[in-house]
């Protein structure tokens, strides 16, 4: 049974074999065609787009793209970016997200795309947390933030943006200040004088000898 990671990591040959078995839906409804294909591969709509979209091996397989209604990889990537940026662990679970981060580090183009999408993605997740305070969403968010820093996906630009925003309660939840200091993305002395940091964050810097 094929699942998300199998599509995400499939070679060109494996992708051809997977989609050769798909029974296309003859229907004018674009979403219906996508969902029909996703069901046959045992994935959700979002999982299908992100597994394919973050698998660089799909780029030149136009026959496969046509099965799900796209004439080019560029058009597929637009939908992938939209879904990745707006999903809050619903269509994509946190394991899917972590697999994307792990597997795509070697592809410079896809890594750059992920970095570009992070601010909007985390803003969406944080908005959901502020509305629902859902424990499972908070735990998934923590896991994802840790993966972004531990995996070297977070850049200095990302860290500077995060610490400039009034989102200190989220940084506290994830220990983000600790992680970006450990990754040497921003000098502790620079962080201490930021007005956007909470008192508890500055206390951690002092206790860690970072002033």
> What is the tens place of the pLDDT at every residue in 12-40?
999 999 888 888 777 667 788 888 889 99
Sign of CA dihedral 119, 124, 127, 132: negative
Q: At what angle do helices 94-103 and 45-53 cross, to 10 degrees?
A: 10
Residue 153 three-state SS: coil
* pLDDT higher than threshold 80 for residue 211: no
CA atoms 164, 114, 179, 142: torsion sign: positive
Residue 61 pLDDT greater than 80, yes or no = yes
Of 139, 59, 43, give the one whose Cα is nearest residue 96. 43
Other beta carbons less than 10 A from residue 148's beta carbon: 24
Domain ranges of the chain: 4-153
């Amino acid at each position: 049974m094929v699942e998300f990671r199998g599509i995400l990591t499939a070679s060109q040959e494996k992708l051809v074999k997977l989609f050769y078995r798909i029974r296309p839906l003859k229907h004018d409804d674009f979403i219906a065609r996508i969902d029909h294909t996703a069901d046959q591969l045992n994935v959700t709509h979002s999982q299908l787009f992100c597994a394919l979209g973050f698998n660089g091996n799909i780029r030149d397989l136009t026959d496969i793209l046509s099965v799900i209604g796209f004439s080019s990889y560029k058009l597929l990537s637009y939908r992938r970016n939209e879904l990745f940026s707006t999903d809050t662990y619903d269509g994509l679970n946190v394991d899917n997200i972590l697999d994307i981060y792990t597997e795509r580090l070697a592809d410079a183009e896809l890594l750059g795309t992920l970095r570009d999408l992070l601010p909007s993605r985390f803003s969406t997740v944080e908005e959901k947390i502020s509305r629902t305070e859902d424990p499972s969403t908070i735990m998934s968010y923590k896991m994802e933030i840790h993966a972004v820093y531990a995996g070297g996906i977070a850049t200095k630009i990302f860290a500077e943006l995060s610490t400039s925003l009034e989102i200190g309660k989220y940084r506290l939840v994830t220990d983000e200040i600790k992680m970006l200091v450990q990754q040497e993305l921003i000098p502790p002395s620079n962080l201490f004088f930021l007005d956007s940091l909470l008192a508890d964050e500055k206390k951690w810097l002092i206790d860690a000898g970072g002033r």
